Amino acid sequence: MLVKKITILFLIQPLTHVCAQQVSFRTFLSEFERSECIDSVSFGKAYDFIDHAEQYSKFLPRTNEECCCEPENVSWQKGSYIKYKNFIAVTLQRYCSSYQDGNSQWFTENDGTDYMLITYSYNGEMLDYKKVGHSGTAYTIHMTALENGLGLVVEQRVLEDCSRLRQYKNLIYTVYTHEYILKSDGIIVERSIDAPHKEVVDVLSSVEQLSFEQFQTYFQKWDRPYVDHTLFTRSKDHAELPFESCLSLIPDTLDHNCWPRDILWLPCRYIENEKFIYFFLIKDCMTPKVGFIPYTDYLVLEFHKNGTFKRARNIYHWDDDSTVTETMIHALITKVVQTVYTETPMPPNANSK
């Protein structure tokens, strides 16, 4: 009985393989919309995947050195096909869930999409193919159809330094412009039509900066006749401080161990005297530049009464390696806060409990 089952299994396996390879070119084309020309729309919609794309493997390019993705991370998306006199052109997207371009360290998920142009004979023989562009966190593209409908022009923007995505800095791209022309025999000719050049994107130009008065509203005024660890109690509405809107007031170099956009700023209380205003806030860093241990700092930001930044004091640093209890933390913070403010004239009774 066992021998019979094994024999049947060996008979079925080749049959399954043959059936998968016998999917017709017409069936393959049925996955796509018919189009009249090649443009950005003809490449289809994002995440509109082809079901069971493995059955069309003989009609799709193999993953090779021009693809920054392992075969198991590739998914194909629907697009369009265009019929020409001597060949058929298909435009579609090749999605990669783990794009290996050396930028994975900057993103939680480094996915991306290749825009593919493939040509076939009318009986389904692949004639040529090109990756005409790529989109992703560090890439943008702009496509324009050629007037004769036999190709397109692609402007590919590549971000030079992906660490800038984690900072409040302008993004600098290198722009490459290429033309892809379909010849009468289905061969795709690629040529550069412009020298690479730089393009700067000002990421903060559209970010409205807070006034000092607006900044102050994120904190709750301290109304007790003493200072202790409860100065670091969150504000009533628990709103986060929109730090990118505070860069005209506060330098973004308050933490050299964490990428600026990875820091969570939590406003707490503020206290003032005749000359200065002191803002208490909690700073959480979830992804340090070095190592994997998140940490929390308890900061006091000191401002002149006219809104000019004076300095920042780190009252206490805590991370997962810390062994002190919450009670000990409160005692340490209280002691440091009281020590700091004996140096500066405070409101009446502020240092006596």
Residue 190 has pLDDT above 90, yes or no: yes
Among 202, 305, 298, CA closest to 247: 202
* Residues 239-259, mean pLDDT to the nearest whole number: 91
Q: What is the 3-state secondary structure (H, E, C) of 146-187?
A: CCCCCEEEEEEEEECCHHHHHCCCCEEEEEEEEEEEECCCCC
- pLDDT one-digit tens code per residue, 106-151: 887 889 999 999 999 999 999 999 999 999 999 999 999 998 889 9
Q: For a pLDDT cut of 90, what percent of the chain falls above it?
A: 58
Structure confidence at residue 99 as a pLDDT band (50, 70, 90): confident
- pLDDT one-digit tens code per residue, 251-305: 888 888 899 999 999 999 998 888 899 999 999 998 888 877 889 999 999 999 9
Note every long-range contact of 314-323, with CB atoms under 8 Å and residues 24 or more positions apart, other chains counting.
Answer: 315/340, 319/293, 319/294, 319/295, 320/293, 320/294, 320/295, 321/293
Strands 263-272, 220-221: pairing is parallel
Distance between CA atoms of 51 and 155, rounded to whole angstroms?
Answer: 30
Q: For a pLDDT cut of 70, what percent of the chain falls above it?
A: 85
Distance between CA atoms of 154 and 128, rounded to whole angstroms?
Answer: 18
Check: CB of residue 267 under 8 Å from CB of residue 241. Answer: yes
Structure confidence at residue 323 as a pLDDT band (50, 70, 90): low
What average pLDDT does the chain have? 85
Distance between CA atoms of 35 and 41, rounded to whole angstroms?
Answer: 9
CA torsion, ordered 32, 33, 37, 43, to nearest 10 deg: -60
pLDDT score of 22: 61
Buried b vs exposed e over 229-240: b needs ≥16 C-beta within 10 Å?
bbbbebbeeeee
Check: CB of residue 152 under 8 Å from CB of residue 39. Answer: yes
Residue 3 has pLDDT above 90, yes or no: no
Note every long-range contact of 93-101, with CB atoms under 8 Å and residues 24 or more positions apart, other chains counting.
Answer: 93/43, 93/44, 93/46, 94/67, 94/69, 94/131, 95/47, 95/49, 96/67, 96/68, 96/69, 97/69, 97/73, 98/69, 98/70, 98/73, 99/68, 99/69, 99/136, 100/68, 100/69, 100/70, 101/68, 101/138
Distance between CA atoms of 266 and 44, rounded to whole angstroms?
Answer: 42
- pLDDT one-digit tens code per residue, 61-75: 987 656 787 888 899
Distance between CA atoms of 180 and 117, rounded to whole angstroms?
Answer: 9
Token readout for 316 is 């206490």
CB atoms within 10 A of CB 134: 22
pLDDT score of 18: 40
